[in-house]
Amino acid sequence: MKKKILAITLCTALSAATLTGCGGSAVKKLADTAKEISEQSDATSTPNGPTATPAPKETALAMKKTGKVGDWKFTVKKLSTKKTIKTSKYMEAKASDGNLLVLATLSVTNDGKKEATFLPRVGREDTMMTAKLIYKDNYEYQPSSITGYDKDMAAKSINPLSKKSGIIAFDVPKKVAKDLKSCRIRIGTKSEAIVFSAK
């Protein structure tokens, strides 16, 4: 910026020198200096355009392997399909009409120094833990919250250095539920995640 201001000042001086009739060598010196400063300024300037967002770091793991993102360590043990989940002695959760529930059974350990919520319902998009079921790399399904079910890992509070086991439920079309080998579970943040393959 300072170089550009200096170049403008020199150009102004050059114009004034020309108008007042200064000698040719002085005018040429001013012109050469202004050109040199302008070229240096263009070479060192940085573009103001948008910067590319880095791709998220994703680590592929097989079922029953343990992954870690931030303070969370977790293992997806298996995927299974059900029409309903018995949530208590008299209550059950059902998939929506024409769908089935895909259940990801997992264990989660909080390696942090304070109590934290695994898969919170709200939080900072760039740092909160989320989960999704991916079908054939093209279709994504978010977890379904199962009210009153103590094994639901969505929004589960876990004390530091403690481990809990349960499920994440996905309400999906029957076609997806019957083709679990084409499904993957992604757990992590926007920038870093573990992707468990059912294959």
- pLDDT given for residue 145 in this prediction: 86
d(CA 57, CA 16): 59
> What six digits make up the tokens of 20?
């007042």
CA angle 189, 190, 191 (to 5 degrees): 90
Which one, of 39, 29, 38, lies nearest residue 5 by Cα? 38
pLDDT (tens place) for every residue of the chain, 199 residues total:
444 444 454 455 445 444 445 455 555 554 565 556 556 555 555 556 566 677 889 999 999 999 999 999 999 999 999 999 998 888 999 999 999 999 999 999 999 999 999 999 888 877 899 999 999 999 999 999 888 899 999 999 999 999 999 999 999 999 999 999 999 999 999 999 999 998 7
- What pTM value is reported for the model? 0.71
